[in-house]
Structure 1
Amino acid sequence: MHIYAIGDIHGHLGLLKAAHDLIAADMGRHGKGQVIHIGDLVDRGPDSRGVIDHLMQGQARGEDWVVLKGNHDRMFTRFLNDPGEPEPGLRSEYSWLHPRLGGTTTLASYGVGKAADRPVPKVHADALAAVPQTHRDYLSALPALHQAGECVFVHAGIRPGVALDQQTETDLIWIRDAFLIEAVSFGPLIVHGHTAIDHATHYGNRINLDSGAAYGGPLSAVVIEGREAALLTPEGRRKLPGPAPMLFQRA
């Protein structure tokens, strides 16, 4: 059994299509497998709308694709529902329209311009008029966790010591330190993104797929067989590198 997974997309439709091409080529050699998208479809990149359209269209024609919810996807839908409602995972001094978060580029892909320079109520009204209800419904309904084979796929990670069926959506799409410093097994292999690193890396108990597409890095696509993983490249599979020596150990 093999499973494919793609890291944080962040509005980069061209990179997403290239990742799907790599997966299609690998399937041609090794057989079909499910494709998991790890979340953060939107923000920072130039074509968030195109990314959502592409994924919706693929699923509609029967592609075996799973698309998970990331924190940026929830911030987008929360803004559309009520721009004044706080996002539990976000620091209070930020809003989705803050330049560091990339909401303005997402709205620009729908034709809503200068979102950071106009009153929020006006931007919100324009966004409601521009974003199709089908996109809002799609993003709102995305799952936050998917189990397949020996793996659990989530956007950010899981809360150590909490059963999978008791995990909160906020942890699944936002968690960092409490999850990232955990050096022991979680049971299943956790496959995630959310925390940008230089290249997709296998840590033994987890795999981080966020290779920084949001910041000019590549979009990683991997194939997972059991608990082993390989990066897909134009030259074929390349075994994922392991991490530097662990700096954190649980007492």
Structure 2
Amino acid sequence: MRSYAIGDIHGHLDQLLAAHDRIAADRRATGDDTAPVVHVGDLVDRGPDCRGVVEHLRAGIDSGENWVVLKGNHDRMFLGFLDDLKHHDPGLRSDLGWLHPRLGGGATLESYGVREAASRPLAPVHAEAVELVPAEHRAFIEALPTFYRRGEVVFVHAGIRPGIAVEDQTETDLLWIREPFLSDRSDHGALVVHGHTAIDMATHYGNRLNLDSGVAYGGPLTAVVIEDRTAHALTPQGRMLLTPML
């Protein structure tokens, strides 16, 4: 059973389009145009064209593309701010806010036309954001699922709490967890494909596959093809096997 997947995007529309092109090339080479493309979340924050990413994915799904888009923690923080200027996501450290430079919310609002969001008083910034972010974008992000299961693979944004069925996980764990998930080497009953924790390159750990290759920090955006539990990164030269670590 084949699936395609793309890691955390963070407003990099140009790299998202290139990743879709690599997937299209693999489809042509294999003659398979039925497998879904799963995006593991974090559409927004830090990058230059967050609005463009949301619109591209929303419009593609509306036009019939076989795409699955999952909700990431940055997507939830964006929604939380639009709903309430004082919102603080329960997964976020208490000393940080969504507009802090480390989180990159200002870049998201900039892409929607809200200028200098991180350096102006919060109330007018919030009012402009509510006015300028299209209702269809808010509705699209609000409706994003938090996991997707296909065959022997479960796709989530951050990971899972070991020993708990994915259907019973809290949304905050699915969007924010690092430990004890990252250090757990047990079989989860399915290959867990995720992002959220930036690393140098996509890595297959045997029981999980991390796709976040750090596009938010100048790295590439990874696209992979997964067949059962075997994964290949898609490069301009074709497939590259991601060998599971022992």
Structure 2 length-normalised TM: 0.98
Q: Residue by residue, what CA displacement relative to the aligned partner does 1:81-140 show, whole Å, maximum 9, x if unpaired?
A: 012122100000000000000000000000101111111111000101110011011111
Aligned mates of 2:221, 2:206 — CA distance in 1: 21
Structure 1 ranges of 4+ moved more than 3 A: none
2:189 pairs with 187, 190, 195, which one? Answer: 187
- 1:5 is matched with 5
Once the two structures are TM-superposed, the CA of residue 151 in structure 1 deviates from its matched residue by: 0.3
- 1:110 is matched with 112
Aligned mates of 2:91, 2:80 — CA distance in 1: 12
Q: Residue by residue, what CA displacement relative to the aligned partner does 1:205-241 show, whole Å, maximum 9, x if unpaired?
A: 0000000000000000000000000000111100014
1:233 pairs with 217, 230, 235, which one? Answer: 235
SS in 2 for 1:62: coil
Once the two structures are TM-superposed, the CA of residue 172 in structure 1 deviates from its matched residue by: 0.2
Unaligned ranges ≥5, structure 1: 246-251
The alignment covers a number of residue pairs equal to 244
Q: Residue by residue, what CA displacement relative to the aligned partner does 1:167-213 show, whole Å, maximum 9, x if unpaired?
A: 01100000001100101100010000000000000000000000000
Aligned mates of 2:20, 2:170 — CA distance in 1: 30
- 1:217 is matched with 219
SS in 2 for 1:121: helix
Aligned mates of 1:81, 1:241 — CA distance in 2: 43
1:81 pairs with 80, 83, 92, which one? Answer: 83
Unaligned ranges ≥5, structure 2: none
SS in 2 for 1:179: coil
SS in 2 for 1:74: helix
- 1:29 is matched with 29
Aligned pairs (5 A) from 1:93-108: 93-108=95-110
State the identity %.
63
SS in 1 for 2:181: helix
- 1:20 is matched with 20
- 1:174 is matched with 176
- 1:201 is matched with 203
Aligned mates of 1:169, 1:225 — CA distance in 2: 27
SS in 1 for 2:109: helix
Structure 1 length-normalised TM: 0.96
SS in 1 for 2:76: helix
